[in-house]
Amino acid sequence: MPEIKVIYARQRKYIFFLMALYVLGYGFTSYQSIFLGLILGTSLSLFNLWLLVRKTSTFGDDILQGKKVRSLGTFSRMATAVLAVIIALEYPESLNFISVIIGLMTIYFVIMIDFFVQSFHTRK
Identity of the residue numbered 43 = S
**pLDDT per position in the chain (124 positions), as tens?**
568 889 999 999 999 999 999 999 999 999 999 999 999 999 999 999 999 998 888 888 878 888 887 777 789 989 999 999 999 999 999 999 999 999 999 999 999 999 999 888 877 6
Question: Is the Cβ–Cβ distance between 46 and 15 less than 8 Å?
Answer: yes
Interaxial angle between packed helices 2-28 and 97-123, expressed in degrees from 0 to 180 and rounded to the nearest 10 = 130
| The pLDDT value given to residue 124 | 67
pLDDT in tens, 20-39: 999 999 999 999 999 999 99
| Exposure string for 43-53, b = 16+ CB within 10 A, e = fewer | bbbbbbbebbb
